[in-house]
Amino acid sequence: MRPSVLATRATFPDIAARLRAHFDVEDNPADTVWTPAELIRRLQGKQGVMSTGSERIDAALLDACPQLKAVCNVGVGYNNVDVAACTARGVLVTNTPDVLTETTADFGFALMMATARRITESERFLRHGEWTKTGIYDMFVGGDVHGATLGILGMGRIGRAVARRGAMGFGMRVIYHNRSQLAAEAEAECGARYVDKATLLKEADHLVLVLPYSPQSHHAIGAAELAQMKPTATLTNIARGGIVDDAALAQALRAGTIAAAGLDVFEGEPALHPDLLAVPNIVLTPHIGSASVQTRRAMAALTIDNLIAALGFGPRAGKPPTPVNPEVLALAR
Ligand code: DGY
């Protein structure tokens, strides 16, 4: 009997077709977001799942789906998956690193620039017919990006790609803070200097968050951290909702504690904290950091490579390209 797999969300049909060569596939062309109970119901009898950040894969789900062998998540982040619970049950988890690094860094830079130069705020003004005279000397004046200090919190692949853009493209002084300092060669390659978190907050003109979400990074930026930043500084979050305390940020933007913010991710998304919608000095986008056609196709293809290999098929049978918990593979040998 062929194994069965579930694709929880709609994806590129030509790429997903590769799954059908090996598996019986249940997919979701209507792109409905299923409740946890519905997800468990649909996973009955399935050995693999192509999941996204919208689905929580936790111990309760794993216990209700004991035949599940592989959770292949579309995305580099996998905080929707309880990896320890998967590992304890011999379930392999995979993600999609590397293929989205440059695209997400492009987006982070674009969001930071839009925030610094007040692009969406001024567009709203124009669209609402409020531009009635030219030559106003301080109309939508923002902060410079070139030559400013770029601060990066979290220095993985995407952080380094953002740093390179700042140092090499815009002549920025780049400082970063991370759980561990990069090797000297890696620092030189991306033109960044390690500092402690307090220095990062104090000195950054534009602070970009690129760290993974975990209980340790929950509200890494809250009222106390915002208070340490310059009143002219901007904050950009392309990492995960929950790293910033959204209520505290809205309050800081209202009070002028910092100048502006750009957010692509939110606590409890797709719901937004209502106070964020009430402040003008913020650029808001709906979690589209990796959303270029080429990159989204590459993410889908890598997830499918992982799923095919994880369930023992294809040229890499048993050796999926990007495992999160490879120890499960070692145990299976
Ligand atoms: C990622 O790859 O983690 C993106 O945020 C998409 O979820």
pLDDT tens, 36-57? 999 999 999 999 999 999 999 9
Per DSSP (E only), the strands in the chain are: 4-7, 24-26, 48-51, 70-73, 92-94, 149-153, 173-177, 192-194, 206-209, 234-237, 260-263, 282-284
Judge if 141 and 200 occupy the same domain: yes
Is 269 one of the catalytic residues? yes
Q: Residue 244: CB within 6 Å of ligand 1?
A: no
Task: Report d(CA 114, CA 283) in Å as an integer.
Answer: 7
Predicted confidence (pLDDT) per residue in 272-299, tens digit:
999 999 999 999 999 999 999 999 999 9
The confidence score (pLDDT) of residue 244 equals 98
The answer to whether 226 and 217 have CB atoms below 8 angstroms apart is no
Judge if 175 and 27 occupy the same domain: no
The confidence score (pLDDT) of residue 318 equals 96
Is 225 one of the catalytic residues? no
Number of domains in the chain: 2
**Residue with CA closest to ligand 1 atom 7:** 75
CA nearest to 91, candidates 127, 65, 124, 54: 65
Judge if 91 and 130 occupy the same domain: no
Judge if 79 and 122 occupy the same domain: no
Judge if 231 and 91 occupy the same domain: no
Is 185 one of the catalytic residues? no
Judge if 254 and 298 occupy the same domain: no
- Residue 326 CB neighbour total at 10 angstroms: 15
Q: Would you place residue 156 in the very low, low, confident or very high pLDDT band (cuts 50, 70, 90)?
A: very high
Judge if 311 and 202 occupy the same domain: no
The answer to whether 308 and 314 have CB atoms below 8 angstroms apart is yes
Judge if 269 and 226 occupy the same domain: yes
Q: Would you place residue 324 in the very low, low, confident or very high pLDDT band (cuts 50, 70, 90)?
A: very high
> What's the average model confidence in pLDDT over 160-172?
98
Q: Would you place residue 250 in the very low, low, confident or very high pLDDT band (cuts 50, 70, 90)?
A: very high
Judge if 280 and 252 occupy the same domain: yes
The confidence score (pLDDT) of residue 331 equals 81
Q: Would you place residue 333 in the very low, low, confident or very high pLDDT band (cuts 50, 70, 90)?
A: low
Judge if 77 and 187 occupy the same domain: no
Q: List the CATH number of the domain containing 27.
A: 3.40.50.720
Judge if 176 and 59 occupy the same domain: no
Cα of 76 to ligand 1 centre, how many Å? Answer: 5
Predicted confidence (pLDDT) per residue in 176-231, tens digit:
999 999 999 999 999 999 999 999 999 999 999 999 999 999 999 999 999 999 99
Which residue range(s) make up the domain with 135?
A: 101-284
Predicted confidence (pLDDT) per residue in 73-116, tens digit:
999 999 999 999 999 999 999 999 999 999 999 999 999 999 99
The answer to whether 317 and 70 have CB atoms below 8 angstroms apart is no
Q: Residue 235: CB within 6 Å of ligand 1?
A: no
Q: Which atom of ligand 1 is least distant from the CA of 78?
A: 3
Judge if 312 and 266 occupy the same domain: no
Say if strands 282-284 and 206-209 run parallel, antiparallel, or are unpaired: unpaired
Cα of 320 to ligand 1 centre, how many Å? Answer: 19
**Residue with CA closest to ligand 1 atom 1:** 75
The confidence score (pLDDT) of residue 332 equals 72
Return the SS3 of 150.
Answer: strand
